[in-house]
Amino acid sequence: MTERIRKLENKLAHKQRTPILAITGAGMKEDQEVCLKAGMDEILLKPIQMEQLQQTLSKWFKYEK
42: domain CATH number is: 3.40.50.2300
Query: What is the total count of domains within the chain?
Result: 1
Domain membership of residue 23 (yes or no) is yes
Domain membership of residue 62 (yes or no) is no
| Confidence (pLDDT) at 57 | 93
Domain membership of residue 65 (yes or no) is no
Domain membership of residue 61 (yes or no) is no
pLDDT greater than 70 at residue 65: no
pLDDT digits (tens, 9 = 90+) for 26-49: 889 998 999 999 999 999 999 999
Dihedral angle computed from the Cα positions of residues 6, 8, 11 and 13, in that order, rounded to the nearest 10 degrees: -70
Domain membership of residue 13 (yes or no) is yes
Half-sphere exposure of 37 (CA within 13 A, CB side): 6
Secondary structure of the chain as H, E, C letters: CHHHHHHHHHHCCCCCCCCCEEEECCCCHHHHHHHHHHCCCEEEECCCCHHHHHHHHHHHCCCCC
Task: Report if pTM > 0.85.
Answer: no
Round the average pLDDT of the chain to a whole number and report it.
89
| Confidence (pLDDT) at 42 | 93
Domain hosting 39: range is: 2-56
Domain membership of residue 9 (yes or no) is yes
